[in-house]
Amino acid sequence: MSLLQENALAQPVGTTLDRYIMRAQADFPYATGELSQLLRDLALAGKIVHRDVNRAGLSGIIGSMGQHNVQGEQQQRLDVEANIRFIRALRNGGEACAILSEEEDDIIQTGNYQGQYVVAMDPLDGSSNIDVNVSIGTIFSIYRRVSAVGQKATPADFLQGGRAQVAAGYILYGTSTMLVYTTGHGVVGFTYENSLGEFFLSHPRIMIPATGPVFSCNEGHWFDYPDYVRQFLTACKERRMSGRYVGSLVADYHRNLFTGGIYLYPPTASNPLGKLRVLYENFPLALLIEQAGGRAASDNGPMLDLQPTDFHQRSPLFIGSAGLVAELVELL
């Protein structure tokens, strides 16, 4: 055996998601195992969607379904596939008593009435990019239910507000598949190893830089943006910041999380209340960014202080490095 082979075998395999969750379980507010299992269920569904995404071009599941979801958006075949995968995993896992999905109008009761948690999710964010092979993702948010255990979940379980989240995260399906999440004790990242079928800890403590070189928004809406947004973007350009916009929220957010920067989806003439959904896009990403040392705001204050009133409520979102978000908020 060569020295190179001996050195390779001497290296530890790494910390798997399951092992990490077991070790960190003592940090969870309710360390009884249910939240740990719930995170495993989400990871399992993420592995299956990872497989589906990577085989999409060969298995005939790319393209439009020819119908629209509750948001009025055209559903892609992979939207429907991902929705089914996550609902099935959460239902079979037994810990989630109910689910709220971007693809469904109302609460999905899982039948697990003894479950302590509810999950709000966007099963496949950025699905309009599926056909052109651009990174897409899953966003999820977890709450401890406030309704009586043993009964069906109620709207109040999902409308507690962003600061009531006990965990939140996303799965990015890109050049590598990553699971990034927080349980309120910092942000950790896991990378999927295909040959072993496991998520391994790759980023034990993710912190976003206080400022950064990137702004991310759809400048095609420039003339529909409010004056304060155009003023902020002009200042970014005067500083020679780079404009980077994929059009997939998870992908843009993930890049800025590591490089530093700001993501903007302001109100526009066609979407005066913003376009992104509060419960399963803005809230989970806002909790993550705050845990990573960043900041998230709507046009009415801190994102996590927004009181939701509707399952599919929308709001503007300004999220990323604390210094850049503060600069934009000052212009409000």
Q: What is the pLDDT of residues 75-119, one digit of tens each?
A: 678 889 999 999 999 999 999 999 999 999 999 999 999 999 999
The structural domains of the chain, with segments of one domain joined by +, span: 13-203, 214-331
Identify the H or E element spanning 289: helix 283-291
pLDDT band for position 45 (50/70/90)? very high
Name 199's bridge partners: 192
CA 146, CA 17: separation in Å to the nearest integer? 28
* pTM of the model as a whole: 0.91
**Is it the case that residue 53 has pLDDT exceeding 90?**
no
CA 198, CA 179: separation in Å to the nearest integer? 11
Average model confidence (pLDDT) across the chain: 90
Sign of the CA dihedral with 258 first, then 140, 182, and 289 last: positive
Homologous superfamily (CATH) for 13-203: Fructose-1,6-Bisphosphatase, subunit A, domain 1 (3.30.540.10)
**Is it the case that residue 11 has pLDDT exceeding 70?**
no
**Is it the case that residue 10 has pLDDT exceeding 50?**
no
**Is it the case that residue 210 has pLDDT exceeding 70?**
yes
Question: What percent of the chain clears pLDDT 70, i.e. is strictly above it?
Answer: 88
**Known binding positions:** 102, 122, 124-128, 218, 245, 263-265, 275, 281
Q: What is the pLDDT of residues 140-165, one digit of tens each?
A: 999 999 999 999 999 999 999 999 99
pLDDT band for position 71 (50/70/90)? low
Q: What is the pLDDT of residues 211-263, one digit of tens each?
A: 999 999 999 999 999 999 999 999 999 999 999 999 999 999 999 999 999 99
pLDDT band for position 23 (50/70/90)? confident
Sign of the CA dihedral with 219 first, then 221, 223, and 226 last: negative
**Known binding positions for substrate:** 125-128, 218, 245, 263-265, 275
Torsion of CA 48, 51, 56, 58, to 10 degrees: -130
Of 193, 218, 54, 195, the closest CA to residue 136 belongs to 54
Say what the pLDDT of residue 55 is: 77
Q: Is 71 exposed, middle or buried (0-12, 13-18, 19+ CB in 10 A)?
A: middle
**Known binding positions for Mg(2+):** 102, 122, 124-125, 281
Note the CATH architecture for domain 214-331: 3-Layer(aba) Sandwich (3.40)
Contact 267, 297 (CB under 8 A): no
